[in-house]
Chain A
Amino acid sequence: MADSTYPMPGSLAEAPRQRWSQAAILEWLHSWVTTVDHKKLGILYMLYSIFFLLVGGVEAILIRIQLMQPNLHFISPQVFNRLFTMHGTTMVFLVGMTYIFGFANYLIPLMIGARDMAFPRLNALSFWLTFFGGLLLYYSFIGGGGLYGQGNAPDVGWWAYAPLTSRAFTPGHSTDYWALSLIVTGFGTIGASVNVVATALCMRCKGMTLMRLPLFVWLNVVTSALALITITPLTAAQIMLLIDRYLGGHFFDTQAGGSAVVWAHFFWIFGHPEVYVLVLPAFAIANEVIPVFSRKAIFGYPAMAAASVAIAFVSLGVWAHHMFTIGMTSVGNAFFVLSTMLVGIPTGIKIFNWIATMWGGKIRFATPMLFCTGFLVQFLLAGLTGIMLSVAPWDWQLHNSYFVIAHFHYVLVGGIVFCIFAGIYYWYPKVTGRMLSETLGKWHFWLFVIGFHITFDLMHIPGLLGMPRSIYTYEANRGWGTLNMIISIGGLIQAVAVLVFAVNLVWSYFKGKEAGNDPWDAWTLEWAAASPPPAYNFATDPVVTSRRPLWDLKHPEDPDWKYE
């Protein structure tokens, strides 16, 4: 096939290769900085997410080294507070919120047979807002002290409860950088969410009805719709915080009649649905990976879509289960206990559907499927400790303890990070044209799963024994020492696993096996494009007649649309 549609002799292969000169490098850089292409922006989001995953991971490791033994002084108490604040903020806003749009940007237009997102320039704006929001947060290490002295980072916890954030208790600018950074990344998120919803609803190729939309796209639409009403309350609360800090306002100032509890409410009105904003795209990845590697169509497609919508709705009414110990009426407690337990129903439906998809399937345990299997088990366990914590009296006992930390890391690492890895192993061939090494992938998986369970299974126990979260160190006679040592060792094993992953990413980019267009024998439209896809995605607009267009193509004798 000729490289050009114009009648000119020769092909690109015969053209002299361009040297890696300064001009070429500048041109290459320029093409990435000014890009409005959904694939390039998707890659930028993913690189950003992975970079901050490593940064947040280093922060976690420093925290774990500090907690390895009682009365250790590896880092100072001030640094410890900054580290757990930055770890939480980084992982939620710079890793969690960006991987969503990395996958969504790259895959949604390909999956729905579109040329690009609905608003390519808004897409670029959203990415760069998020990018500079992240820089703003980390700039606080240099500029946080303001004119008062040397720099420091925010140290108020990622939940930043009032009145600790008031000017009297937190002088300097570190908290302002934190608030501004989250406002800026928040605007980025809103822009990207608007784009995802508009793309999925308005840019579908012919025949791609809503009931034929890949579940990945469905779940990302639900995620983005939820993000629109989840991120904005945080933006509002941050504006109030800045008004309090800069203009002498009294929103959270109890001495002038304001209320610190109101901050907690506003924060968790954002904070709890945020968990579902983070986890739904992970479900979206599992929805694509599990059927392909079980060689079966997804079980209960409408139920999966409906359950996602149900999760989004229920998630809006559960926030105060973070606040049982702050004190509420018994009616309030009962409401939030029950609404929290209600989340178990749609998530249960999902887990049953994934198991039913695997049931009787011809399962191939390639690395993406290994990670998704790990996700299923761990997410179930995380859900069960979630149900335990939803019971108010149990929560009164264990609130602010390491049991809670273990629970939500089970969700965030055991659920979400496992799915992110599954997604990267699954779509890396599409993005780069090369397979990730399966050998390194298996090492990555097994080291990570072992490290994960050593760390987070055992982390429940010091919580039950009464070890509070966010403490700098502890006395030797508490009996938490050995457990903490093992937990930290598990953390180091996970770090090694992530290093294996990073090596795999780089090595496979240069030396990996050629992938071809459809290495996994999959069914959604992105696998019909070349790997990596050309800038225009599809030479002609695809037309689909079922949920699995590539299945129809490969099996004309038994197409899916016969059963719809």
Chain B
Amino acid sequence: MSEGVEAMSTIALVQEPEHAFTQPSKGRVAMFCVIIAESAIFTIFVVAYIYNIGKSLYGPTPRQVLEIPIFNSICLLSSSLTIWLSEHAIERGKVKSFGLWWGLTFVLGAIFLAGTGVEWHKLIYEDGLTISTNLFGTTFYSLVGLHASHVIIGLIALLTVLLFTVTGHVRQEHAERIQILALYWHFVDAVWIIVFTVVYILGR
């Protein structure tokens, strides 16, 4: 049936589909899939954290050593707003304003990461809490660390786009790709709300 291909195109092309046929953007669908998969990983770590709250047989306990990272959290959460503003800017072709908001997002994310570093330094060197000290240490460093590793990946991606912006390679037609990347950053921020609630409010 080698004539099948031609026959099909000739016959089928005559009959146009009766209604408009649109499909979602593959980038968006893929990013949502990644976010769903990541959510499952985080769910397991969060469940492990909640299940193990108060089960440590010896100290230090969360109440003794953890301080609520309010400034850090404000930085990270507000970076969701700045990235949203940059998305808006690039959609309208305002590359300069895009670059500014995008750069600010990167700085806010970097401050958050540095804040986590300071917190961990204090926990390790002043309070003597490492990942192997007790069950709290194990669950704390793995959950917060899992989130921090996602922040790092996000920052690398943000920096890459920032470099392209500075060198003048980002234009309005890249708006969709940038929005897809921003989806990931919004996800990382949203996860922090859960991690924050579980670790610093429920678990403390």
| B12–A549 touching, CB < 8 Å | yes
Query: Which residues does chain B contribute within 8 Å of A258, judged by CB atoms?
Result: 52, 55, 135, 138
Question: Are A545 and B15 CB-contacts (below 8 A) given A228-B40, A232-B40, A243-B142?
Answer: yes
How many cross-chain pairs have Cβ atoms below 8 Å apart between A and B?
A: 165
| A209–B33 touching, CB < 8 Å | no
| A248–B132 touching, CB < 8 Å | yes
Alpha-carbon gap, A221 to B129, bound state (A): 45
Alpha-carbon gap, A237 to B44, bound state (A): 8
Alpha-carbon gap, A225 to B40, bound state (A): 12
| A118–B41 touching, CB < 8 Å | no
Q: Which of A194-202, A356-364, A415-423, A434-442 contacts B (4 or more CB under 8 A)?
A: A194-202
Interface of B is mostly: helix
| B12–A545 touching, CB < 8 Å | yes
Query: Which residues does chain A contribute within 8 Å of B24, judged by CB atoms?
Result: 201-202
Between B24, B30, B52, the greatest number of chain A beta carbons within 10 A of the residue's beta carbon is seen for B30
Residue B1 CB within 8 A of the other chain: yes
Alpha-carbon gap, A119 to B26, bound state (A): 9
| B29–A233 touching, CB < 8 Å | no
Q: Indicate which residue in A198, A237, A544 contacts B29 across the interface (CB closer than 8 Å).
A: A198
Question: Are A257 and B4 CB-contacts (below 8 A) given A545-B12, A545-B15, A556-B11?
Answer: no
Chain A 173-217: CB-based contact to B (< 8 A → 1; otherwise 0): 000000000000000001001110111011110110100000000
Query: Which residues does chain B contribute within 8 Å of A392, judged by CB atoms?
Result: none
Alpha-carbon gap, A284 to B15, bound state (A): 29
| B44–A257 touching, CB < 8 Å | no
Query: Which residues does chain A contribute within 8 Å of B57, judged by CB atoms?
Result: 256-257
Q: Indicate which residue in B11, B25, B134 contacts A202 across the interface (CB closer than 8 Å).
A: B25
Alpha-carbon gap, A235 to B43, bound state (A): 12
Question: Are A517 and B29 CB-contacts (below 8 A) given A259-B51, A528-B8?
Answer: no
Q: Indicate which residue in A202, A237, A549, A553 contacts B23 across the interface (CB closer than 8 Å).
A: A202
From residue 1 to 40 of chain B, which have CB atoms closer than 8 A to chain A?
1-2, 4-9, 11-13, 15-17, 21, 23-26, 29-30, 33-34, 36-40
Q: Indicate which residue in A118, A256, A540, A545 contacts B9 across the interface (CB closer than 8 Å).
A: A540
Query: Which residues does chain B contribute within 8 Å of A193, judged by CB atoms?
Result: 33, 37
Query: Which residues does chain A contribute within 8 Å of B48, judged by CB atoms?
Result: 240, 251, 262, 266
Query: Which residues does chain B contribute within 8 Å of A251, judged by CB atoms?
Result: 48, 52, 135, 138-139, 142
Residue B194 CB within 8 A of the other chain: no
| B51–A243 touching, CB < 8 Å | no
How big is the A interface, by class? 35 or more
Alpha-carbon gap, A153 to B50, bound state (A): 35
Chain A 232-256: CB-based contact to B (< 8 A → 1; otherwise 0): 1101110110011001111101001
| B8–A257 touching, CB < 8 Å | no
Provide a sorted-by-A list of 13 A–B residue pairs whose CB atoms are within 8 angstroms: A197-B30, A229-B39, A231-B37, A239-B146, A243-B142, A256-B56, A256-B57, A257-B56, A258-B55, A528-B4, A539-B6, A543-B16, A553-B11
Known: A197-B29, A230-B40. 20 other contacts (CB 8 A): A202-B29, A207-B21, A232-B38, A235-B41, A243-B142, A249-B138, A251-B48, A251-B138, A251-B139, A256-B134, A257-B134, A258-B135, A516-B1, A518-B1, A527-B1, A540-B5, A542-B9, A543-B12, A543-B17, A549-B12
Chain B interface residues toward A at CB < 8 A: 1-2, 4-9, 11-13, 15-17, 21, 23-26, 29-30, 33-34, 36-41, 43-45, 48, 51-52, 55-57, 131-132, 134-135, 138-139, 142, 146
